[in-house]
């Protein structure tokens, strides 16, 4: 056996030590579920992420992508991006200009998750603020909590220096609410169940007549991203279902429903019928499917199939026995693969090194939702 001199011994043991230090992660299952080296940055969002523009003509996904590729924190970039939509007075589905609840009050919801920091924040039914995504981020950064609601959320926002505007409502949204009230006034003496359905049907009739953009009737933006270092974050912000019962919170502020992020796996978020998504915690389900190795598209299809299976009330089914509502998911994994998937054909936004685009989603069913 060849004897090693001192120099050779030191060299050999140093190399072995480095190898041994690296080994436990691979040997004991501590390595990330998906490798993230050399990831191409991508930002994915609902279609309105490539519609509203800021004063410079930049859309949400474009803004976020530019900030991320220049080194900004991913969540900071996403919040800056969705604020373009939240502050756009010409849309009525997100932020201060969103359609109000049944009493004419604008109540907003938002959530965010920071993958690397493993932190999250959300607000629900907050009034008097224009851009709730930033408040959700402050909940994550400045408190030990994940969700603040109602007046408590408003008081917290005020304490953080966010301007509170009493009676805040966009004039277009106010006029649409008054039209809805005019149409539903004769229905006051219906029993509660019939009245609730009448409220819902009247809103959809206004969509069919072109008085309200169908996408704005549900009104939400989800935006998720991964940077070149594999850092993943997400944000969802909404004004909620138009003419909702005061205090109603949908899926958007609920972690695992309207948004879920795991930095080792990926992110998923949603728009559409919040109650259907809440029942299955679908964003969490999608991330777990991706953890098992599913492509984002296949993971989202699995979630939609579960929603369809769990939809059994006749009022929520069309003549084919399929869900009569829209529900869409926007997903990406830690490798930078992404997909927009919907119950019925829809659109989604994405920004890569090729620039911002609006694309068609993959659909579970053909045709269009009835409501």
Collapse the DSSP code of 123 into the 3-class scheme (helix H, G, I; strand E, B; otherwise coil) and give the result: strand
CB atoms within 10 A of CB 310: 11
- 220 a catalytic residue: yes
DSSP letter for 105, please.
Answer: -
How long is the chain?
A: 371
- DSSP label at residue 42: E
**9/117 Cα distance (integer angstroms):** 41
Question: For the chain, percent helix, then strand, then coil, each to nearest 5?
Answer: 40, 20, 40
| Token pair for 162 | 């966010």
Q: How far apart are the first and last CA of the chain?
A: 81
Catalytic residue, chosen from 36, 59, 184, 220, is 220
Two tokens, residue 57: 């003509």
Q: Is 2 exposed, middle or buried (0-12, 13-18, 19+ CB in 10 A)?
A: exposed
Catalytic positions are: 220
């Amino acid at each position: 056996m060849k004897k090693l001199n001192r120099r050779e011994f030191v060299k050999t043991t140093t190399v072995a030590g480095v190898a041994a230090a690296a080994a436990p992660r691979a040997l004991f299952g501590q390595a990330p579920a998906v490798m993230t080296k050399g990831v191409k940055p991508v930002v994915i969002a609902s279609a309105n992420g490539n519609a509203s523009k800021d004063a410079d003509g930049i859309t949400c996904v474009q803004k976020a992508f530019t900030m991320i590729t220049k080194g900004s924190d991913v969540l900071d970039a996403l919040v800056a991006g969705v604020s373009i939509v939240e502050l756009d007075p010409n849309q009525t589905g997100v932020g201060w200009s969103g359609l109000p609840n049944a009493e004419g009050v604008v109540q907003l919801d938002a959530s965010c998750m920071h993958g690397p920091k493993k932190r999250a924040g959300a607000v629900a039914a907050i009034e008097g603020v224009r851009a709730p995504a930033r408040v959700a981020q402050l909940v994550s950064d400045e408190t030990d909590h994940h969700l603040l609601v109602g007046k408590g959320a408003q008081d917290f926002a005020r304490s953080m220096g966010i301007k509170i505007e009493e009676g805040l409502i966009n004039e277009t949204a106010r006029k649409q609410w008054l039209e809805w009230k005019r149409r539903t006034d004769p229905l006051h003496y219906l029993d509660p169940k019939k009245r609730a359905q009448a409220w819902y049907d009247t809103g959809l009739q206004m969509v069919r007549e072109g008085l309200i953009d169908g996408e704005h009737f549900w009104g939400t933006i989800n935006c998720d991203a991964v940077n070149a270092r594999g850092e993943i974050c997400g944000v969802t912000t909404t004004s909620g279902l138009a003419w909702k019962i005061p205090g109603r919170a949908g899926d958007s502020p609920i972690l695992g429903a309207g948004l879920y992020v795991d930095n080792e796996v990926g992110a998923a978020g949603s728009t559409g019928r919040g109650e259907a998504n809440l029942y299955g915690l679908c964003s969490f389900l999608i991330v777990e499917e991706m953890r098992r190795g599913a492509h984002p598209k296949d993971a989202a299809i699995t979630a939609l199939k579960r929603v369809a299976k769990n939809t059994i009330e006749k009022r929520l089914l069309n003549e084919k026995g399929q869900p009569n509502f829209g529900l869409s998911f926007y997903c990406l994994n830690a490798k930078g693969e992404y997909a927009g998937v919907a119950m019925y054909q829809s659109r989604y936004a994405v920004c890569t090194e090729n620039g911002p685009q609006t694309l068609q989603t993959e659909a579970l069913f053909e045709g269009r939702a009835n409501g």
